Amino acid sequence: MTETIQTKPTLVLGGTGKTGYRIVDRMTARGLPVRIGSRSASIPFDWEDESTWAPALQDVRAAYISYFPDISIPGAPEAVRAFAELALDRDVRRLVLLSGRGEEEAQRAEREVQETGADVTVVRCAWFMQNFSEVDFLVGPILDGEVVLPAGEQLEPFVDADDIADVAVAALTDDRHIGETYELTSPRLMTFPDAVGEIAAASGRRIDYVPVSVEEYAAGAAELGVPEEFVEFLTYLFGEVLGNNAYVTDGVQRALGRQPRDFADYVRDTVATGVWAAPTADRVG
Ligand SMILES: NC(=O)c1ccc[n+]([C@@H]2O[C@H](COP(=O)([O-])OP(=O)(O)OC[C@H]3O[C@@H](n4cnc5c(N)ncnc54)[C@H](OP(=O)(O)O)[C@@H]3O)[C@@H](O)[C@H]2O)c1
């Protein structure tokens, strides 16, 4: 390992989110100093307020860049570039960018950050498994026992946020990952109905998957009062992005020298946490 001695903290943007908190936990466990970058952090960081960026970057050695809400929304590539330029300006050369697969704007965001000349590693990810169990739009439907989605039979190799965090920590602590783009997936292509079915079977609950068209889904979400921008984003994700990435990759193996975790590993561990537990009356079998 060419791990550098780390006395200055690593800034972890989205450090309380699905990938960020796992990175913070791993680095802290190794005795490596971290600074959380989010609106609720002790040094607040807000993508919407550029005046918060420089204080967050003050005296850090590296940064994990997780844009919010999504790297592919309008303005995101420009924002991450501006952040990377400011980081370089502050002598923070080592940047690890969290990105998405098969999305034109996400890939443009990657180039924007790479073109600054910083020492960049791109961690380009499939849909996170944890969207089914941690703060996200799928958790409520899973708990309610009915998942209405326009996902059809499209295949997706969901990736475990634990694998993403392992790769990000490796990249943040070992210079051999500079210049790499790691595309991360699990080893198995699945449909959304498959995923919901595995969660239902393992948690012993009835969870119905209800297929709808993208138009029906958008209309239903709007009726429920989901903000228009978010409805548009979900429509884009299911209508245009899902299905573009129906192949598995060797990114976890290349970065870490081990196999990625399977959806079954995630489901087994998540059932054990109790987040999917339901009242006894809802149980099947
Ligand atoms: N979810 C997926 O399946 C997936 C797949 C591929 C790529 N990605 C990419 O991963 C990134 C993160 O997405 P996620 O869904 O996993 O979210 P997440 O990291 O779970 O998001 C929550 C985090 O963002 C912070 N945050 C919220 N609003 C913020 C703001 N205005 N400024 C700064 N920080 C803010 C939150 O902390 P505070 O509330 O304290 O601010 C929290 O730390 C996105 O860029 C997305 O494109 C996601």
Digit-coded pLDDT (tens) for 100-157: 998 999 999 999 999 999 999 999 999 999 999 998 789 999 999 999 999 989 999 9
136 CA distance to ligand 1 middle (Å): 10
Which amino acid makes up residue 126?
Answer: A
68 CA distance to ligand 1 middle (Å): 4
Q: What is the pLDDT of residue 171?
A: 98
Question: Mean pLDDT across the stretch 53-72?
Answer: 97
Nearest CA to ligand 1 atom 41: 39
The closest-lying atom of ligand 1 relative to the alpha carbon of residue 48 is: 31
pLDDT above 60: residue 218: yes
2 CA distance to ligand 1 middle (Å): 30
Ligand 1 pocket, Cβ-based, cut-off 6 angstroms: 14-20, 38-40, 45-48, 66-68, 70-71, 98, 100, 125, 127-128, 131
The closest-lying atom of ligand 1 relative to the alpha carbon of residue 106 is: 47
- pLDDT-derived band at 215, boundaries 50, 70, 90: very high
pLDDT above 80: residue 280: no
Model-level pTM? 0.95
Q: What is the pLDDT of residue 2?
A: 45
The closest-lying atom of ligand 1 relative to the alpha carbon of residue 47 is: 32
Nearest CA to ligand 1 atom 14: 18
Q: What is the pLDDT of residue 48?
A: 98
Query: Which of 4-13, 110-119, 183-192, 259-268 is the least confident region?
Result: 4-13
Q: Could you tell which of 66, 96, 237 is best to mutate to test the pocket of ligand 1, judged by most ligand atoms within 8 Å of the CB?
A: 66
User: Maximum CA pair distance of the chain?
Assistant: 61
Are the beta carbons of 123 and 171 closer than 8 angstroms? yes
Query: Which of 7-11, 145-149, 179-183, 230-234 is the least confident region?
Result: 230-234
Task: For strands 10-13 and 62-65, give the pairing.
Answer: parallel
What CA–CA distances, in Å, run from 238 to 36, 74, 215, 245, 282?
31, 17, 11, 12, 29
Measuring CA to CA, which residue among 39, 42, 51, 48 is closest to residue 13? Answer: 39
- pLDDT-derived band at 1, boundaries 50, 70, 90: very low
Nearest CA to ligand 1 atom 34: 38
126 CA distance to ligand 1 middle (Å): 15
- pLDDT-derived band at 282, boundaries 50, 70, 90: low
**Tell me: the pLDDT tens digits for 221-268?**
889 888 888 888 888 889 888 999 999 999 999 999 999 999 999 999
